[in-house]
Structure 1
Amino acid sequence: MPPSPSVEPSTETTETTEALTGELAREQAYLDAARAQLTRMRELAESLDASKASDAISGEVLGRVLARRIASLQDDPRTALFFGRIDVDPPGGPAEQFHIGRRHVSDEAGDPVVVDWRAPISTAFYRASPLEPMDVVLRRRFGVDRGRLTALEDEQLREPAPTDGAAGSILAAEIERPRTGPMRDIVSTIQPEQDEIVRSDVAVSVCVQGAPGTGKTAVGLHRAAWLLYSFRERLDRSGVLVVGPNRAFLDHIGAVLPSLGEVRVGHATIETLLGHGRVRADEPADVATLKGDARLAAVLHRAVWSQVARPTEALVVPRGVRKWRVPAYEVQEILDELAARGVRYSAARELLPQRLAHHVLLEMERSGEAPDDRVQDAVAKSPAVRKYVATTWPALDPQGLLHRLLSDAQALRAAAHDELTAEEQAMLLWDKPARTKGAARWSRADMALLDEVDDVLRRVPSLGHVVLDEAQDLSPMQLRAVGRRASTGSVTVLGDIAQGTTPWATGSWEEAMRHLGKDTHDLVVLDRGFRVPAVVIEYAARLLPHMAPGLGAPVSVRENPGRLELRPTAADELYSEVVRAVEAAAEAPGSVGVIVADASVDAVSSALAAASVPHGRLDVDHGDDEDRQVEVVPASVAKGLEFDRTVVVEPRAIAAAEPDERTGLRRLYVVLTRAVSGLTIVHAEPLPAELT
């Protein structure tokens, strides 16, 4: 066989390759210089001495500020300080280059070396297009491996080259990169429609309806980071909170904001947010649904304010040899005036002694005396006034009031008025009332009721911004609890109506936003799937017509269609087949989630352990902080998580574990859409008919 002819590369190809190699070397040198400047900035911050402040309090505050500053200037050698560059050439100004990264880096003169992705100039990196270039001549993206630049990709915006509309190879590779450990930021891959949400004004409440894989969670977290950058002074005072569905979810997203330089954001689940007592009881779904009904807010409000008694006797205050008297009708006028002021129950109660004392002073003045403010304070603190206030306007606590309502049919009937039917009142009453509030067996649904009572008694402080993820699963009363924590701020609400897996799941975003107290809001729909590959989302979308009619399926924009494998097996071979599927999935880099019905977690974990497959567990009793490639995940906590590959065990059992068919299909839809690259389904039982 004759040898193959040698092919010499063309001069043009050689010159292009050499030019790219030289340009990449120049960009790497720029990255090295930027890293040196970041080191200088950090060393300067570390050299500052908080102890030299003018006083101890100032020193403590300065110390905290410096600690945050030093933490934000840490360099991660596994990543590059910048991921992109834009060359701008505005008509009326000089041409400039800006390297866009996760944090701002400046040189000794204060000039920017790397521009923070949240800065206004960075908007053009995400939104510029050939139709609207925003003065951008060139957009460059960088490939990175272990902190070194490995590739660059340029996009000419004024004279764009022909394209088929597909994403650039570097952008596509970053989107499809295998997932390991917790969720990563998407700062280098934010799409224009996502960027518009991220940069919405702090005064705007945004609701994002996003199908699986559309990046809604990441968008919400990046919005929090952008708000803290753009409105730092305001939000430093009022605070930012992220509320997620469970602790596993918070652990999953916990690294995103620190990677963007933000460490001052609070995290909570709905359970920890409403931690008003120890949850010691479960209750039927219909009872929990009723307790989550917004009508309970009016019932609780009426129950609290009905404790203010109508005075039947005058207030008599002995002082010296005389007794001063405030008639009952005047006391009633005071009570009515305080109740009408719109303040909370306890705040109004604290005003009552001074108001009563003021009327006593008026009587003194009419008799010719000249009392001053000290006399009024003394009267307000006198035993007679304190006793009168205690009987007329009693002090309340949330647990005591709710305990009485749920254990006393007469008290519940009086508070319910026309809000609840007799049958609904009977559902709420405890079968065996606890003798004291301390012995009450509170349920999870009771926590939202206790929070409502607490707010009627004393106003819950408001934060500047709240990010609420998986909002579709919250009851109206839980939504009210979250909303009152942003009563003077704004919210970013994230969710998917099709993924509602609770009996009380919201029916529409308009309804949910109303319960949150945000009737005025922007509703945005994300339907381009960046995480879930096409073959997986198309398979899961078979469930949509049966559980969420009329809701469109997301459109995957991934170049890699992904992998879907069905592994039917015999019942006695189920766990052996699961082990084989997990071992095959773990051969490639990236995380593996083994998602099973909650009741099967122990059995699957034991099978993996017997086969010496290292793994973790994300159920509540066995959670830990160590990242492992393989995690066994109960179906009930899978929402919001993502894995490079998932092994789903017995879909029919996962769906059957829910209280009704629609909720079961929604739970299954969530489980099937957790995969970033590949989905393997292992089953001995027949698949649900909706999937076949």
Structure 2
Amino acid sequence: MREDVQSLDIRDVTANWVNAAVLERQIDDRIKALADLSHTPLFFGRLDYLHAPGADKAEGAEGESFYIGRRHVHDADGDPMVIDWRAPVSQPFYRASPKDPMDVGLRRRFGYTGGELTAYEDEHLTEAPAGPAQTSKLLQAEIERPRVGPMRDIVATIQPEQDEIVRADLSGSVCVQGGPGTGKTAVGLHRVAYLLYAHRDRLARTGTLVIGPNKSFLHYIEQVLPALGELDVKQATVDDLVARVEVRATDSAPAAVVKGDARMAEVLRRALRSHVTIPTEPVMVVRGSRRWRIPAYELEEIVQELLNRDIRYGAAHDALPQRIAHTVLVRMEQSGEAPDDRVQDAVARNPAVKAAVKAVWPEVDPAKLVLRLLSDADFLAEHADGILTADEQKTVLAEKPARSVKSAKWSLADAVLIDEAGDLIARTHSLGHVVLDEAQDLSPMQYRAVGRRCSTGSATILGDLAQGTTPWATSSWAEALTHLGKAGAHVEELTAGFRVPREVIAYASRLLPHMSPGLAAVSSVRENPGSLSLRTTDDLDGAAVTACRDSLRHEGSTGLIAADARIPALAEALTAAGLAYLNPGEETTADARLTLVPASLAKGLEYDYVVLDEPAAVVDGEPDERTGLRRLYVALTRAVSGLIINHHAPVPEQLAAPAAA
């Protein structure tokens, strides 16, 4: 298929060089999409249908066999050899069961080692199963395959409950609550791939975006969609979306909480509208020998109408001169003239009209508006009256007000406020679909920033309330979805774990009653006896080196996770011991399998073996105990095969006690 595209001769098929350039770009993109990926087989399953699709079963039409894979593959004659996993005919591969075989007689799974076909496994769906259903050994082997390199796709192992979310309709938004190892991130990425398959033309026009918590996370997942043939999906963090100013400062937690509160949107709206001045002077428009006078009361009516419509500030600013010009045209027509649209445009550009608009509805820079709010106590008090308390106003005011936008030391929360102000002035471009991962950590104002990017599209929201580690982390998906502008989104909960061993997740789940009461614990399908080891030590640095060496004897990746304050000491210990290590976001390879991970960056990452240094220090490194327990919960659940916990101080008492009933 790739060679066919490469052999295309387009020298005489385009009308001009512009069309030729566009066509060449499209051909290059197609060649890239058809690239072979080592260790990534094109097919992983086969379906033997009992009857031909669409045929009347009473006729006894014999069914066909379809190979299911990551990509559509056809032969030289154009006949399909492998069916794309997203096609309707492939759906039974994920959802068929002995109870509902979906007209499939046999489902075959293929096993690979290093890209080579090494095994296959047949499941006869129409034969009554003897005893309880058995877990596929190949599926289990694929799930447990060592994690070296970036995140992999899960097309061969998608489960029925995951497939329902993946194939949900584009018109609706979906929120997925899922504990560690339930595959919510993979589900979100595969949903993007499915939507691009089912609605390619629409999403090609409107665009798609994947939003992650940090650059390390985005680097970890960046190869999933290209492996499925999707090369044009953009990835960003929330900070990237609102990057209108350079961020050079960090807010205190109380200040960040107030700045991230949804009430700030109303404060900004009030402050922006305060720039509008009700006119008190008439406007005199001179055209040739005639003068046209618009009295102040008519101008006031025009301005008041625009205010009452509550349209965006910039749109109203652009509409005002046209409204004034239209009033002048009415006067001209009443006097017997016959002006056209060109005359109206000329009047709108008249110096007197432009001066009136500048005085009544001046242009406003969003960064300057936010700077004034955060540095002028009187201005903030005027527009936050009845919204923010006096103490909250003091919290967000800058200690040393900046003189200009360029000299100001903006924080991330400030950048979000500027983005909100920018949207009040001019509408933010909306995409067709947005995937938001680790959504539980966003502030209400950050939710609003993301919601603006999909105001006319849909969203897939992924997260785990138990893993919220910011001071403003949401405690309710209903509240979060309201701020996002997707209050009608359907909430799905994934409780079956496929990544974290049962022994490890059960230990970590002891924390749930103390930090997220009422949240269901993950039930892992993986049994790895001996996957959890607690080691007491008087030498944490030496114990970390020993544990890392023990873990590196096994195949796969190893992550040493520790409180942020412990990272420099552990880095020095690893270097002195001759153990090379990577930083989060750097890709693991066969020769570099150890990563040193600050607890604050562990979210969303996974390693075959995890060494967790001093759990008490992870908890103490956060501003409050609840946040600390959630940070610890994240760190405990990054392991795929084994977890070693080194501690000198006693482990938190919430872990020492059995899980609450």
1:184 aligns with 2:144: no
CA deviation map 1:189-232 (0-9, x unaligned): 00000000000000111000001010000000000000000100
Which of 639, 644, 649 matches 1:685? 649
Q: 1:516 aligns with which of 484, 487, 492?
A: 484
| Shift in Å, 1:156 | 0.5
Cα distance between partner residues in 2 of 1:678 and 1:558: 12
Change (3 A) 1:637 1:201: same
Find the aligned partners of 2:300 and 2:650 in 1 and give their Cα distance. Answer: 70
Q: Tell me by how many angstroms 1:559 deviates.
A: 3.8
Further displaced range: 498-507 or 52-61: 52-61
Give a deviation string over 1:115-163, Cα, whole Å, max 9, x none: 0000001100000001100000000001111222111110010014425
Q: What percentage of aligned pairs have identical amino acids?
A: 57
Per the alignment, residue 220 of structure 2 pairs with 252
Tell me what 1:650 maps to.
614
The alignment status of 1:487 with 2:448, answered yes or no, reads no
CA distance in 2, matches of 1:317, 1:354: 13
- For these two proteins, the number of residue pairs brought into alignment is 646
CA change 1:400–1:49 in 2 (3 A) is farther
Could you tell me how far apart the structure 1 residues matched to 2:94 and 2:292 are?
A: 74
- Please tell me the residue identity of whatever aligns with 1:678: G
**Given the alignment of the two structures, is residue 83 of structure 1 paired with residue 44 of structure 2, yes or no?**
yes
CA distance in 1, matches of 2:321, 2:382: 28
Partner Cα separation in structure 2 for residue 338 and residue 170 of structure 1:
65
Q: Secondary structure at the match of 1:85?
A: strand
Letter in 2 for 1:228: L
Asked if structure 2 preserves the Cα contact closer than 8 Å seen for 1:324 and 1:360, the reply is yes
Any idea what the Cα deviations from partners look like across 1:262-308, whole Å, max 9, x if unmatched?
11111001111111211122222111111111111111112112211
CA distance in structure 1 between the partners assigned to 2:102 and 2:310 by the alignment = 50
Show the counterpart of 1:599: 565
Confirm or deny: 8 A CA contact 1:220 1:467 kept in the other structure.
yes
Most deviating of 463-472 and 92-101: 92-101
Match of 1:314 among 282, 291, 294: 282
Match of 1:610 in 2: 576
Return 5+ residue gaps in structure 2 as ranges.
52-56, 657-661
Distance 1:480 1:584 in 2: 46
Report if the CA contact (8 A) 2:277-2:361 is conserved.
yes
Moved over 6 A (4+): none
Instruction: Specify the code of the residue in structure 2 equivalent to 1:213.
Output: G
Q: Tell me, what secondary structure is at the counterpart of 2:512?
A: helix
Q: Which runs of 5+ in 1 are unaligned?
A: 1-40
Q: Quote the Cα distance in structure 2 between the aligned partners of 1:151 and 1:161.
A: 22
Aligned counterpart for 1:277 among listed residues 245, 251, 254 = 245
2:121 paired with 1:153: yes
Q: Which whole-Å CA distance do the structure 1 matches of 2:22 and 2:456 have between them? A: 26
| Corresponding residue number in structure 2 for 1:629 | 593
Greater mean deviation of Cα atoms: 103-112 or 503-512: 103-112
Between the aligned partners of 2:137 and 2:587, the Cα distance in structure 1 is: 34
Q: Is the 8 A contact 1:172 1:559 kept in 2?
A: no
Partner letter of residue 57 of structure 1?
V
Alignment partner, residue 497 of structure 2: 529
- Tell me the distance in 2 between the aligned counterparts of 1:165 and 1:89: 22
Shift of 1:502: 0.7
Amino acid at match of 1:690: Q
Give the RMSD, CA atoms, in angstroms. Answer: 1.5
Q: Is the 8 A contact 1:179 1:644 kept in 2?
A: yes
Aligned counterparts of 1:326 and 1:625: Cα–Cα separation in 2: 68
Q: Secondary structure in 2 aligned to 1:664?
A: helix
Aligned partner letter, 1:634: P
Matches within 5 A, 1:294-443: 294-443=262-411
Report how far residue 322 of structure 1 moved: 4.0
Asked whether the equivalents of residues 536 and 562 of structure 1 are also in contact (C-alpha less than 8 Å), the reply is: no
1:584 Cα deviation from its structure 2 partner:
1.1
Structure 1 residues 6-85: aligned runs within 5 Å? 41-50=1-10, 52-85=13-46
Give the equivalent residue in structure 2 for 1:458.
Answer: 426
In the other structure, the counterpart of 2:659 is none
1:107-118 residue pairs with structure 2 within 5 A?
107-118=75-86
Task: Give 1:633 shift.
Answer: 0.7
Which residue does the alignment assign to 1:578? 544
Q: Show CA shifts across 1:586-616 (max 9, x none).
A: 1111111111111222221121111111211
Query: Is the CA contact 2:211–2:435 (under 8 Å) kept in the aligned structure 1?
Result: yes
Q: Of residues 520, 533, 536 in structure 2, which corresponds to 1:568?
A: 536
What is the DSSP-based 3-state SS (H/G/I as helix, E as strand, rest coil) of the residue aligned with 1:617? coil
Supply the distance in 2 between the matched residues of 1:531 and 1:349 (Cα, whole angstroms): 55
Separation (CA, whole Å) in 1 of partners of 2:339 and 2:119: 85
Contact 1:533-1:562 within 8 A present in 2 as well:
no
> TM-score normalized by structure 1?
0.91
2:104 aligned partner: 136
> Contact (CA 8 Å) 2:148, 2:588: kept in 1 or not?
no
CA distance in 2: counterparts of 1:232 and 1:543, whole angstroms: 43
1:666 to 614, 630, 650: 630
CA drift of 1:626 comes to: 6.6
Amino acid at match of 2:36: D
Conserved in 2, the CA contact under 8 Å of 1:470 and 1:496? yes
Match of 1:686, SS?
coil
1:303, 1:415 within 8 Å by CA — same for their partners in 2?
yes
Partner of 1:217: 185
Residues 626 and 77 from structure 1, CA distance in 2 versus in 1: closer, same or farther, beyond 3 angstroms?
closer
Measured in 2, the distance between the counterparts of 1:308 and 1:186 equals 55
Measure the CA separation in 1 of the matches of 2:270 and 2:399: 23
Distance 1:47 1:599 in 2: 58
